[in-house]
Amino acid sequence: MNEAELVFTQVLSCDKLFLYLNKEVNLDSEQALRVGKILSRRILGEPIQYILGSSEFMGFKLRTDKRALIPRPETEILVEAVIEEARLLNRKPFEVFDLGTGSGCIAIAIAKLLPEAIVWAGDISDKAIDLAKENADSNKARVRFIKSDLFKGLEVAKKFDLIVSNPPYISNSSLSSLPYEISFEPSLALKAGSDGLDFYRRIVKEAVFYLKPEGLLAFEVGINQANEVKQICSRDFSDVKILNDYNNIERIVIAKKGNYKNG
């Protein structure tokens, strides 16, 4: 839905179909005041998802506020890809770690769409974990949350079939050139060093020790980062591939751990 549809379906507590079948409906004074307040905040640049307090991701409604990044359509491609890979791997139980879970959108979608999976989710931010737990509860998703700085917080011997992450990937120098509304989102979830690749390097270096043989590592990446992330992964992983998003932009990198690497 576009932003106007999002506003009026929420203010009128209706769906999109009702909105278009009842175009002559009048707002009462309370509803009109609410629309005015929403528009005032939006004019100042605040993202509509924060103003309305929710967004949809893979068909699931999630609470959205400044504790975590807003879930985006590109990340849905990451979830679709890892679910397909999980089914091809065909392991039971299938254990997943969502590294840097933020709002919990990835972990929740995987838990709901791949119910046989055991899903773990970690984040360094207590506020993000609280938000992710609220979203998991509201969607009745079985996710195990832990506070972790990347892999710090996990048991040393813990092994997963899949590690998935949409890490920070904005270079420090690029932050100032981003659209103004991005400034409302937590900078902790955006900044990634001088070239935007710091977190990919850190994750790849450690992930190999937390994956089972032939386990998978899957990333969302920024524009023009896919080949560099592929090179980073290729040092420790085999069968590295790149997938495009809906706009044909290289957006997802998936790598497989070989049987011969680190057990």
Question: For 156-195, what is each residue's pLDDT tens digit?
Answer: 668 999 999 999 999 888 877 888 888 888 888 888 888 9
Is residue 263 pLDDT above 50, yes or no?
no
Q: In Å, what is the CA distance from 145 to each residue of 38, 133, 141? A: 33, 7, 12
Structural domain boundaries in the chain: 3-63, 73-256
Query: What is d(CA 222, CA 199) in angstroms, rounded to the nearest whole number?
Result: 12
Higher pLDDT, 98 or 155: 98
Amino acid at 211: L
Superfamily of domain 3-63: Ubiquitin-associated (UBA) domain (1.10.8.10)
Task: Say if residue 253's pLDDT is above 80.
Answer: yes
Question: Do 59 and 108 meet the contact criterion of CB atoms below 8 Å apart?
Answer: no
Angle, helices 3-11 vs 29-43, to 10°: value is 150
Q: What is the mean pLDDT of residues 135-144?
A: 97
User: Span 212-216, mean pLDDT?
Assistant: 94
Question: Is the pLDDT confidence value at 259 over 90?
Answer: no
How much of the chain is in helix, strand and coil states, percent to nearest 5?
A: 40, 25, 35
Give the Cα separation of 170 and 76 in Å (integer).
Answer: 19
Q: How far apart are the first and last CA of the chain?
A: 47
Average pLDDT, the chain: 92
256: CB partners within 8 A, 6+ apart: 214, 215, 216, 217, 237, 238, 239, 240
- pLDDT score, position 156: 64
Distance CA(146)–CA(119), nearest Å, equals 11
Alpha helices in the chain (DSSP H): 3-11, 16-21, 29-43, 48-52, 73-89, 105-113, 126-138, 198-207, 226-234
Model pLDDT, residue 262:
41
pLDDT over 90 at 43, yes or no: yes
CATH superfamily membership of 73-256: Vaccinia Virus protein VP39 (3.40.50.150)
Strands 117-123, 211-220: pairing is unpaired
pLDDT at 260 over 50: no
